[in-house]
Amino acid sequence: VTDFHTAVIGAGSAGLTVAVGLAGFGKKVALIEKKHIGGDCTNVGCVPSKTLIHLASHMVEYNGAENKFSSAEILAKVRERRDHLREEETTWIKGVKNITVFEGEATFVNSTTLSLKLSASEQTITAQHIVIASGSSPIVVDVPGLPPGRILTNESLFDVTQPPNHLVILGGGIIGCEMAFAFRKLGSEVTIVQRAPRLLDRLEPEVSDLIQTRCQEVGMNVSLNATAHSFEASTKALRLEQQGKSVTVPNVENVLMAVGRKPNLEFGLEKAGVSFNEKGVPTTQSHKSNVPTIYAIGDVSLTSAFTHTANAQGRRVVQKIALPFLPQGKEAVYPSAVFTDPEVAYVGEPLEKLKKRYHPELIRTLRFELKKTDRGYTQGLEHGFILIHALRLTGRILSATIVAPNASEMISLLTLAVNKRISLYQLANIVFPYPVLSEAIKKLSDQFVFATLPKLPQELLSYLRLRWTRG
Ligand SMILES: Cc1cc2nc3c(=O)[nH]c(=O)nc-3n(C[C@H](O)[C@H](O)[C@H](O)COP(=O)(O)OP(=O)(O)OC[C@H]3O[C@@H](n4cnc5c(N)ncnc54)[C@H](O)[C@@H]3O)c2cc1C
């Protein structure tokens, strides 16, 4: 007999989903959180960053025009909204039937027992199932000479009260690029230092090109193929190493670390016999670790790095534990969004990766510029496109990328198409309200249909020849 049916380590997106889901099935749940309810998303991730992006976009024009609020007021409002949500979530979760919230740090004693370090006491609890949802932390790289007071991470960024005069962002991935646009709008000089040859290098190259262009248009500095070498405190100069050359970035006030995340694993996993590596806890499709009663989901797993994917995995664990005999398919293909200006949203793999699974000639790539849609014209849109990779002949969509002002809202139709195998033939028949940017999906689908149907016999032969041949 255990104290709890399930114990959940971490009350972020992943942990909250499991705790609330299982409690809804009448299971007795212990939810343990050592910092703040809501985890990174509510406190130092999605919520403050998206609030900042929204307020900065609506209150400030790049480098100029009259502002409704000062940058300092915007930063204060970000904290206000974040704190309000944190308090709301904390009050709510403490009132959920069947959940006991422990505010403290959990450590494994063995595979069914946790030791809890609470503010004024220690306690041991046992549980039939344990879900590790401990999240991740920012990686901080060593830059010789850089004083700790000049270093920012996502954990301290939203506590700054004034935008830095000159913010250097190490890392040109999602977090780095999003914060670059936001702080530029607040009036900071922004320099992105990216080790890879392009920004957002895990996405399609077309996206990197467009975002690079936008960075230049709004007056940011971007150093590609570059790493931070050292900092000279007296002159506030950051020295970069860029393809064998030394480059100096002057007058640097703060350096934001956005080079990647590391899983939070320091709570005695070895005592429970749970295997892990530097990337996190490997799991099965049902999110079980090598110990079948211990699960790992969200950022601490190897397969999730977003709030919506943490939530999706949490829901799968709830189903697995509460309804173990219900069949559970593979994980869906999850979409993701990057809240730059314009936004980027994608689902499925970029072309480079697809070519490793399919013969390159089997993949049809279609691109439509949004300014060629009527809505793009009426909006005077300059940048933006939809890119789809589909199988020739069948029109099955393998992956899609949208760059548009509201790409994050437009990607769901294509996510559905990828997961439910809705083909380009079917998308060509969808009627969109007029005028919308999503009409580009129909135009793309038409392109495919008109390129395929008139040559059907050749397409069929090519498809059969290439289908089982890898690239
Ligand atoms: C700046 C930034 C912006 C982001 N923006 C987005 C976005 O727009 N959209 C999106 O989908 N994702 C975004 N993300 C990613 C998203 O925040 C994470 O993927 C998500 O929060 C992961 O959820 P999680 O539950 O796995 O972990 P977390 O939210 O990190 O929660 C883990 C919790 O576990 C607690 N914990 C750890 N160890 C212990 C222990 N031993 N005992 C008790 N408690 C413990 C931690 O304190 C933490 O609260 C962003 C991330 C950052 C940094």
Cβ–ligand 1 contact at 308 (below 6 Å) = yes
Cβ–ligand 1 contact at 54 (below 6 Å) = no
| Ligand 1 atom 30: residue of nearest CA | 135
| Ligand 1 atom 37: residue of nearest CA | 134
The whole-number pLDDT of residue 76 equals: 96
Stated pTM of the model: 0.96
What's the rounded mean pLDDT across residues 120-129?
A: 97
Average pLDDT, the chain: 96
Task: Please state, in angstroms and rounded to a whole number, the distance separating the CA atoms of residues 9 and 2.
Answer: 16
Contact criterion met (CB below 8 Å) for 4 and 122: no
The whole-number pLDDT of residue 336 equals: 98
Contact criterion met (CB below 8 Å) for 471 and 361: no
Separation of CA 379 and ligand 1 centre (Å): 36
Three-state DSSP state, 187? coil
Atom of ligand 1 nearest to the CA of 297: 26
Task: Please state, in angstroms and rounded to a whole number, the distance separating the CA atoms of residues 118 and 124.
Answer: 11
pLDDT tens figures, 427-457: 999 999 999 999 999 999 999 999 999 999 9
Separation of CA 346 and ligand 1 centre (Å): 21
Cβ–ligand 1 contact at 298 (below 6 Å) = yes
pLDDT tens figures, 31-68: 999 999 999 999 999 999 999 999 998 765 555 555 67
Please check the confidence at residue 406 and state whether its pLDDT lies above 70: yes
Separation of CA 137 and ligand 1 centre (Å): 8
Cβ–ligand 1 contact at 263 (below 6 Å) = no
Please check the confidence at residue 470 and state whether its pLDDT lies above 80: no
Atom of ligand 1 nearest to the CA of 305: 19
Taken in order 11, 16, 19, 23, is the CA torsion positive or negative? Answer: positive
